[in-house]
């Protein structure tokens, strides 16, 4: 499922808003989530999961083309931990042979 398919599904499931409104809403939600993580704030959605930042230590890497050693600085990467309901439903899908 892509973002535009998600927008269409949401629009089809409620009566008040146009696809255009839903598109703006979905983009606003994703922007707020990105903003939140890029300022170090966690996201917690009960039944879905939580997003947080994990720190990656600085390390020595290599330029794959030249083989030269390069210093890579420490950085933060987004991390997602699925919540209970999501874990259970995905497993249910497996048991139902999907």
Partner 1 sequence: MTALTKSEMAERLFEELGLNKREAKEVVELFFEEIRASLQGNEQVKLSGFGNFDLRDKSQRPGRNPKTGEEIPISARRVVTFRPGQKLKARVEEYAGTES
Contacting positions for partner 1 (CB under 8 A): 1-3, 6, 9-10, 13-14, 16-17, 21-22, 24-26, 28-30, 32-34, 36-51, 53, 55, 75-80, 82, 85-87, 89-94, 98
Angle at 91 between CA 86 and CA 92, to 5 degrees: 95
80 phi, psi to nearest 5 deg: -120, 130
Q: Which is closer to partner 1, CB of 16 or CB of 66?
A: 16
Name the DSSP class of 96: T
Number of CB atoms found within 10 A of residue 22's CB: 20
Q: Which is closer to partner 1, CB of 47 or CB of 61?
A: 47
Nearest distance from C-beta of residue 50 to partner 1, angstroms: 7
Q: Which is closer to partner 1, CB of 8 or CB of 67?
A: 8
d(CA 73, CA 9): 42
């Amino acid at each position: 499922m892509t973002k535009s398919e998600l927008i269409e599904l949401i629009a089809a499931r409620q009566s008040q808003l146009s696809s255009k409104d839903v598109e703006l809403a979905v983009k606003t939600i994703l922007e707020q989530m990105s903003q939140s993580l890029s300022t170090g704030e966690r996201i917690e959605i009960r039944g879905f999961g939580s997003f947080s930042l994990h720190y990656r230590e600085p390390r020595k890497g290599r330029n794959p083309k030249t083989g030269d050693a390069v210093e890579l600085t420490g950085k933060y990467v987004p991390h997602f931990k699925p919540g209970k309901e999501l874990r259970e439903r995905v497993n249910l899908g497996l048991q139902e042979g999907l």
